């Protein structure tokens, strides 16, 4: 696996509704590659993760969207969960933070329902992506080319469909981050 050698990777999440394994598995992959994951959310305190519909663990927020500086991070991970990206896409600071990664040409990795937030940031047009299947119409309507594949990488955007795809997602994300 490529080394991230202390590189800071942002993890953007809402206050609740994060699919826990889609946060913890990429987080662990970043740490194992020598990177430093940073949890970013709308408010200080903790965020509530879920195992599908059941409450799971809470995680401490490192910095808020309002105080985060995109230049301090080599890449961005957007975990899924249905409620997580649905809340993020209604938060102007979160959407601006995510869009700034694309404007800076930094890699972004989004899994499951997370591409909903990418639609709101208007960054999927003319990109090939995958997601949880129910998002395909939304993504196509936003100008994306949707595929039902384990992982899709297009110009620094890494997308996957669901937790079963995490091994491929993590590998592709670490590869993208290591080239940043």
What kind and span of H or E run contains 157?
strand 157-160
Per-residue tens of pLDDT for the chain, all 180 residues: 789 999 999 999 999 999 999 999 999 999 999 999 999 999 999 999 999 999 999 999 999 999 999 999 999 999 999 999 999 999 999 999 999 999 999 999 999 999 999 999 999 999 999 999 999 999 999 999 999 999 999 999 999 999 999 999 999 999 999 998
- Which of 12, 112, 172, 173 is an active site residue? 112
Exposed (0-12), middle (13-18) or buried (19+): which is 116, by Cβ within 10 Å?
A: buried
DSSP 1-43: ----TT-EEEEE--SEEEEHHHHHHHHHHHHHTT-EEEEEESS
> Of 143, 138, 160, which is closest to residue 151 (Cα–Cα)?
160
Domain segments of the chain as ranges: 8-179
Q: What per-residue confidence (pLDDT) applies to 7? A: 96
**Cα torsion angle, 88, 103, 63, 160, sign:** positive
Predicted TM-score of the model (pTM):
0.98
In the residue annotation, 52 being an active-site residue is answered as no
Instruction: State the residue for tokens 């047009």.
Output: 125
Q: What per-residue confidence (pLDDT) applies to 102? A: 98
Q: What per-residue confidence (pLDDT) applies to 70? A: 98
In the residue annotation, 145 being an active-site residue is answered as no
Q: 69 — phi, psi (to 5°)?
A: -120, 115
In this structure, whether the domain defined by 8-179 belongs to CATH 3.40.50.880 is answered with: yes
- Which of 89, 106, 113, 127 is an active site residue? 113
């Amino acid at each position: 696996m490529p080394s991230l050698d202390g590189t800071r990777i942002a993890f953007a999440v809402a206050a609740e509704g994060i699919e826990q394994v889609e946060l913890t598995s990429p987080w662990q992959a970043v740490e194992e590659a020598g990177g430093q994951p940073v949890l970013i959310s709308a408010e200080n305190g903790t965020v509530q993760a879920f195992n599908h519909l059941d409450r799971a663990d809470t995680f401490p927020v490192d910095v808020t969207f309002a105080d985060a500086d995109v230049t301090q991070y080599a890449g961005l991970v957007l975990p899924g969960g249905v409620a997580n990206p649905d809340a993020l896409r209604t938060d102007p600071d979160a959407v601006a933070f995510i869009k700034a990664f694309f404007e800076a040409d930094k890699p972004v990795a989004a899994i499951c329902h997370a591409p909903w937030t990418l639609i709101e940031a208007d960054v999927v047009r003319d990109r090939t992506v995958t997601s949880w299947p129910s998002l395909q119409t939304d993504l196509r309507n936003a100008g994306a080319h949707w595929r039902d594949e384990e992982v899709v990488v297009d110009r620094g955007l890494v997308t996957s469909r669901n937790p079963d795809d995490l091994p491929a997602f993590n590998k592709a994300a670490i590869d993208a981050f290591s080239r940043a």
